[in-house]
Structure 1
């Protein structure tokens, strides 16, 4: 081996070692500034409520502020696109359900796919409930609603929180069970849909328990049925769709945190560890319970499995023509 070649190899080895050391040192200093947690829906909805609880706990673990940034629209794809384009440095994260990552891209053209994200872990799960106004006279319970919806296609105006969201998928399942069609209205999140439901612009809305609970307690809305395998303990006496004899709809919603793909492993490991600590914090657990959901931690692999399972379902539903933009 010539001296020149030895020098090149030596310099290469030193450069590689220096790069590894600088990356490790940089990761050890992470985070050195606030972290942005993007929520791809409007304020006031289930995802936003969960995000604000998680942000506080995660900020305490990381020793830096975690700022919630609402980027609503297009079924969550506007916010997801922002995170997909962000530098993979751990300072821009996304909190959302699986639908934003795998279902929406099956319905419309997006600037991202599921490969653009690195799952960090689940943070929450919640039941879904079918809501109407408390003073609704056309249907006072789920069976009366079913009869009303079946009395004419498009007669019932039903809302969801955006194309491809769990709320949207639940609505399509209910249409199928009742063998009728609704007039479907798409919103940029649960918050605006709840406002219009209370105001009488729409008839029913599919929402998660955390964002619905304040309005149920306040007397503005009523719960017609739980969309899940079991009743929700915070809605005593509200039966599931299956218990009412109309078939099963599982509207359980899982929410997790993702980063742009290409995140350095040291930074990813630090975020995964911090997220797990934040979710197990007693304050996070109690806050989730009070909101009507369950604080749920997982490994990145477990979250990835949920994403993959929903992708398989969404891809098949799109192929069959059952899942499309309103």
Structure 2
């Protein structure tokens, strides 16, 4: 055997040996409970989606999956925890682009977008502008537009945290109407909805998923859908554009990410399991019952969505239109 051939065989054996640990690691993963960190308070859109994802993902992985709510700083508290977690695939972050790319444009965060590897989207939902059903001042969206324009800051408007899609939708509406709200920031939709129901705020920008039960009960009314089309769960509610006030797109995408230090084989295992979970008929039904859509994609597609949102938020931050409350 020539030296050249012996060298090739040695390299081939070494390469084959190098794949054995990664194959064994992927096959044995997960070996304990998997945690999905939700960086917002219980009761909001991300939390509700997290609960149904955890059930289906647990079936796909053959392991218990739990939700851990870590609210604060527009999602930065929970995201920072995942960025610092052991890169073994057992700690995931459930979030949209706001937490990953928008919040760091507004304030100092214990992470950058490079600290996360996108795995797959899991859900998309429409956003609505909400008011109390018994608020006679705001019978419809036209009333809101007129009332808000009659005096700057007359309406207290809540959103789910700095840099969230809810916050961005609020800014879009202020620009569209040429007015300013008295803005109240919360640690998620749950606390904001409680204050809206209790009369502490006048309107709230929220996803259909977390607000639908209150709309159906008659406690809250949706003044408009903040998206390009009407929502199947609320077919009678028109979009801002259909009402003649211009374009606002508050479509919310939520996905699962992991620390970028996580080995590629574990990331591939997780991404495949997530797509399997999203296709689970029970998750499809649960998402539909919430007023949203179970929706998956490749890591590359999720990455492109994050990049697109980063382009928007970074430009808004440079223009001084995106600031923490």
TM range (shorter): over 0.9
1:197-236 → structure 2 map (5 Å cutoff): 197-236=196-235
Q: CA–CA distance in 2 between the matches of 1:44 and 1:35? A: 21
Give TM-score, length-normalised by structure 1: 0.94
Question: 2:142 maps to what in 1?
Answer: 143
**Where does the alignment leave 5 or more consecutive residues of structure 1 unmatched?**
1-9
Q: CA–CA distance in 1 between the matches of 2:13 and 2:301? A: 38
**Where does the alignment leave 5 or more consecutive residues of structure 2 unmatched?**
1-8
Question: 1:110 maps to what in 2?
Answer: 109
1:1-326 → structure 2 map (5 Å cutoff): 20-326=19-325
Q: CA–CA distance in 2 between the matches of 1:13 and 1:279? A: 38
Deviates more, 1:191-200 or 1:282-291: 282-291
Q: Secondary structure at the match of 2:258?
A: strand
Give TM-score, length-normalised by structure 2: 0.95
Question: 1:190-249: CA deviations, max 9, x gaps?
Answer: 000000000000000000001000111111100000000111111122110011111110
Question: 1:269-318: CA deviations, max 9, x gaps?
Answer: 11111000000011111111111000001000000000000001111000
* RMSD of aligned Cα (Å): 1.6
Q: Secondary structure at the match of 2:128?
A: strand
Cα drift, residue 18 of structure 1:
5.3
Q: Secondary structure at the match of 1:41?
A: coil
Q: CA–CA distance in 2 between the matches of 1:173 and 1:151? A: 19
Q: CA–CA distance in 2 between the matches of 1:279 and 1:55? A: 10
Q: CA–CA distance in 2 between the matches of 1:303 and 1:17? A: 31
Q: CA–CA distance in 2 between the matches of 1:156 and 1:249? A: 19
Q: CA–CA distance in 2 between the matches of 1:274 and 1:72? A: 26
Q: CA–CA distance in 2 between the matches of 1:15 and 1:263? A: 23
**For this pair of structures, how many residues does the alignment match?**
317
